[in-house]
Amino acid sequence: MKASETSFRNLLEGSKQFKVPLFQRPYSWEKSNWETLWDDLMSLYSDETESYHFLGPIVTLAEPGTPDGISPYLLIDGQQRLTTLTLLLIALRDVLKKQDSELAEELHELFLINKFKKGDDLYKVLPTQADRNFYQRIVQEKEPEKRERISEAYVFFLKRLEKGEPGDIDTPLSLFKLKNVILERLTLVSITLNDDDNPYLIFESLNYKGAPLTQADLIRNYFFLQIPKEKHDEIYANLWLPLQEAFKAVTKNKYLHELTLAFWQYLRKDGVSLQQSQIYQVFKQSFDNKGINALQELKQVIEFADYYRKIHFPHTEQELRLKKWFVRFKRLEFTTCYPLLLNLYHDYTNKAISITEFEQALKYIESYFVRRLLCGMPSNVLDKVFNNLYREIKENWSDNLVITLRQTLLNLQKTQIWPDDDSLKRSIIEERLYTDRRHDRVKLILESLAENLSKEQVKTENLTIEHIMPQTLTDEWRAMLGANANEQHEKWLHTLGNLTLTAYNPELSNKPFTEKLTYLSEKSSFALNQYFRNIIAWNVAEIQRRGHHLSEIAVQVWPR
């Protein structure tokens, strides 16, 4: 490779094109980056000694020239810098048009385009596909569609230039001087790779250790390393981009993080135990050892990532019967079971199991988790359980997956057990359940118990959890609890028997039970609250009695 110091002018002059390859992420610099660059420019602008500012390296790979004289370069590292600087030049051109049309035209024709060229060859910088349409339209001075970060960067510089910082009424900002500062006094080190250098591996070495890229970025790069270059555009457009856009539609700027989690679950589905920080390393080692067909493997990774999206973002699931279950798992925050769910979803998609079998399997999986939750059992063992569960099911597969799943869960021992009915009933009566962190989990449990009592569906969005014996004791409540009221309050406050849902939480507060009873037994339509119609006092014995009542319902809602 060859390295040389250069100015921004020298980098852009001549018939050149810097193309951002597919294995780079879309434009991602943020406002803090733009502000830093602007502040550096203003320091140079105000510095009469005409000093220089070093921006960093630009790493490129020279490609064969085109028949009409374009010298193309693949931009391996520095796309954020180079794209930002050209966005600044475009904004400067657009402001200059109102003051000095000749200078604006010079800027456009010498540093933004390759005059007399057509198509993509027209542009000196060609961003990755996700940003390309916006970039090309603002270069051509056409009305663009907004494209998230890259359009925000253009507008940022446009506003700063129009505002005229740091000039004032007496000495306004000289755009001619600023143009020269940008082109002459911003320096870079241009590193050009040889034909024998592998751009993917160099990009990986430049970025992997410092990890400015997500694991999802690196995995994408890995696949495109294996795929013939002439197929890149087609595969990117037909496979990778639809996946990326589907995730972006539900997570916006966090889509790469969620894609990374999807790939983590993809690796875990085969029983691999790994930390999120190890995803790329394990992924690469695994597939290097397999000698994979990169395109087929990419298709499978994308297929499972799509399963993850539907499970983790239930509103994207079109099948209502499955959507209902995925919403419940989301509310329970039960992501540990995802390796098993991905495999079951794959079996369902490929018609190895029916939707009825899939639902029954989901019912048992939820039962396993909720019973353990209600019994106060530790969750730190569940990673190991669900990493290996599908493999165990396949090894013991009978004619019916649901029967095999149930039997496999029943066979778990010691800290991994699936609590039986007696253990569940005892724990519901005695164990604390409510915490602030578990708020929505507890709400779902109460909703589920109520659904078992009534076919009439009550909207629960406006209902909140109510402690019948309140969290703050009054003299009336101490008298009702009797001796050792504080100790009894501490022990029984957060048990399921003392919890319900109501729309009257502010009204109820820590009022006496007789006043609460009016709201619970008369005004509430929530099925669980019909229980209070025949209750005249609320003490430890009544909390235990209601806990037993709810436990009888629970064994039906979450069967074993």
Work out the pLDDT band at 209, boundaries 50, 70, 90: very low
Q: What is the pTM of this model?
A: 0.75
Q: What 8-state DSSP symbol labels residue 274? A: -
Chain mean pLDDT for the chain: 88
Work out the pLDDT band at 50, boundaries 50, 70, 90: confident
pLDDT of 53 higher than 90: no
pLDDT of 551 higher than 60: yes
Contacts 24+ apart (CB under 8 A), 478-484: 480/512, 480/513, 480/537, 480/538, 480/539, 481/539, 481/540, 482/539
Where is average pLDDT lowest: 138-142, 171-175, 200-204? Answer: 200-204
Q: What is the pLDDT of residues 82-115, one digit of tens each?
A: 999 999 999 999 999 988 889 999 999 999 999 8
- Annotate 426-447 with three-state secondary structure: HHHHHCECCCCCCHHHHHHHHH
Q: What is the pLDDT of residues 421-451, one digit of tens each?
A: 999 999 999 999 998 888 999 999 999 999 9
Cα dist from 195 to 17, 58, 169, 232, 537, whole Å: 17, 17, 54, 19, 85
Q: How far apart are CA 164 and CA 162, in angstroms?
A: 5
pLDDT on residue 545: 96
